[in-house]
Amino acid sequence: MTTEVLTFVEGRIGRIRLNRPKAIHALDTAMCAAMLDALTAWRIDSAVEAVLIDHAEGRGFCAGGDIRMIASSGASDGAAARDFFRVEYQLNHALFTFAKPVVAFMDGITMGGGVGIAMPAKCRVATENTKFAMPETGIGLFPDVGGGWHLSRLPGHLGEYIALTGARLDGADCLALGLATHYLPAELLDRVKADVASDPQAITAALDALSEAPDAAKILADLENIDRLFAADTLEEILAALAADSGLWAKEQLAILATKSPQAMKVSLHLVRQGRHMPSFEDEMRQEFAVATRVVQRPDFAEGVRAVIVDKDNAPRWQPATVEGVTDHVIDQIFAPLPDDQAWAPA
């Protein structure tokens, strides 16, 4: 039994508290399994009326998944990585389909796997500390954990922009875009958690009562540029549109994209575009599992982890090195459904 996530019942609510502060509460397989077990038990426990997800001490809600383990596994047979993704995605799906209200507190860093456990919640609370991002293209990965579903449902072409650039959003941005349902000062979180615990049937009212209006969301000033410059059908056309634009914002985005894995960007763009037409979240997770199991065994993921996380030289040598080098055939291979005996399924 892991102590890196605490699951317990407090009054009439189930509590999930991430407890791995030295890793900014990054998720491993055991943590995901413990959360999934708790949700499975609480689903049929009439004494549990709602679920609250937060984190113990530290500067973030959840920084993502156990990237080093996934990279190490991907460099060999990939079995441990597949086990992790299977359980993590079952957790994402269990939260998405959970019939009782779930409230997630995105206080601090909320990235990757943290987004995956926060976004399915009915109520998502941002604060002045929130730093929300899906930065996976920088390490040769893609915005998984349901990212293809959640990002594709943002207004305009925000999904493409966030997936490709790994843009970091603050709490005001999250509220403005609907990624958060409420914005509270961090100093009020303990108070509102107590209010939720005392009356689980009035979660929204408790959050509404203490919510405050943040400063203006900076992302709103960029929406016209995002919708104009990230609308093209292909990554090549998006890059060409950015290159042809004389504005500083376009130049900044072009420079950011030049650091990302060409393969990961094409995978991410395809994922968001397909996500808009997925019939169900279960279908989305089935596809993301197939994509994830293949991407982690391709060269760019190992190289991205080396450059950004291990050696920290931030000088990845991507294969292929150019966007044009990533063919449609490669993308089709990555997105091909897995055989039935290997495919992902809900818990």
Catalytic residue among 14, 64, 65, 159: 65
Catalytic annotation, pick one of 54, 66, 107, 136: 136
Options 14, 60, 108, 113, the catalytic residue: 113
Per-residue pLDDT, 128 = 98
Whether 113 is a known active-site residue: answer yes
pLDDT at 57 over 90: no
Choose the catalytic residue: 4, 88, 144, 284.
144
- Burial class of residue 347, CB neighbours in 10 A (0-12, 13-18, 19+): middle
pLDDT over 90 (residue 1): no
β-pair partners for 10: 13
Q: Over pLDDT 90: what percentage of the chain?
A: 97
pLDDT of the residue at 248: 98
* Per-residue pLDDT tens digits for 77-132: 999 999 999 999 999 999 999 999 999 999 999 999 999 999 999 999 999 999 99
**pTM, entire model:** 0.97
Instruction: Verify whether residue 144 is a known catalytic residue.
Output: yes
Per-residue model confidence (pLDDT) at position 63: 95
Domain boundaries, the chain: 5-335
Sheet of 5-10, strands arranged across: 5-10, 13-18, 50-55, 102-106, 123-126, 182-183
Any catalytic annotation for residue 4?
A: no
Domain over 5-335 is classified CATH 3.90.226.10: yes
User: Is 156 tagged catalytic?
Assistant: no
pLDDT tens per residue across span 149-182: 999 999 999 999 999 999 999 999 999 999 999 9
pLDDT of residue 2: 79
